[in-house]
Amino acid sequence: MKGGVSFAWGILALGFGLAVGAGAGRAQQTELPTDKEGQRQCDRDLCAIVNAPSASGAGLKCDLAETWYKEEITKAVKKGKISWPFGDARCSAKFDVSRALLAPALTEAKYTLKAPPQPVRCEIDAEGGRHELRANMAPVIEFKDGKATSVSLGLQDIEGTALVRNVVWAAWKFESTFGYFHSDFIKGVNEYVGAHCPKMK
């Protein structure tokens, strides 16, 4: 969640990255065509909401892309005892979340943030070619006194070649059952809200 990575991308891509095997891995560079200034603007826009959580005003709209490398994926998923039989994963996502949904997380004593489904697409390297994977994520984050206490990333509607889809679904169900990365999700949210965004004032 550091280095200006947006909260939305950090949470959604972290979760989808887990599903494709990236776990809590950190993207080292962007290989998909993307606007780096657009990423920085997304970060600024979300931190503006975090730092001044009024329900009125513009929401968060971002188009983002990141690449996770096989070495990072393999290392990260060992924590959850999940194997990764593929190569690198390049993911892109579109985020559209209203300010009215985000702001109460920082102002109410207890709040459940239920984001609408957000589309994510990944291209995954595999022997003999590259596989495309598409899905939606509808995160549900429980907040208490402005801090996340529970994160569910809500992977839905997985589409793609059977080989990759089956591995992704199995990994996601494993995480949903055993929650190996749940603490990473919570820590990421709270570090972004409590440490990163205050520096953006």
| Residues 161-198: tens digit of each pLDDT | 887 777 777 776 666 665 666 777 788 888 888 888 89
198 close to 51: Cβ distance less than 8 angstroms: yes
pLDDT at 104: 93
- What is the side-by-side order of every strand in the sheet holding 147-152? 110-114, 140-144, 147-152
pLDDT at 110: 96
CA angle 95, 38, 185 (to 5 degrees): 50
8: Cα separation from own chain's centroid: 6
Report, as ranges of residue numbers, the positions in the chain whose pLDDT lies below 50: 1-34
pLDDT at 175: 63
What's the one-letter identity of residue 198? Answer: P
| Domain annotation covers residue 1 | no
| Length of the chain in terms of residues written | 201
What's the one-letter identity of residue 51? Answer: N
Q: Dig out the tokens for 69 from the structure.
A: 């490398």
Q: How many domains does the chain have?
A: 1
Name residues whose C-beta falls within 8 Å of residue 28's C-beta, 6 or more positions apart in sequence.
67, 69, 72
| Domain annotation covers residue 13 | yes
98: Cα separation from own chain's centroid: 17
Domain limits for position 114: 7-200
What's the one-letter identity of residue 201? Answer: K
Strand ranges for the chain from DSSP E:
60-68, 89-97, 110-114, 118-126, 129-137, 140-144, 147-152, 155-160
Q: Alpha-carbon distance 169 to 61, whole Å?
A: 27
| Domain annotation covers residue 2 | no
Residue 20 has a CB neighbour count (10 Å cut-off) of 27
pLDDT at 107: 93
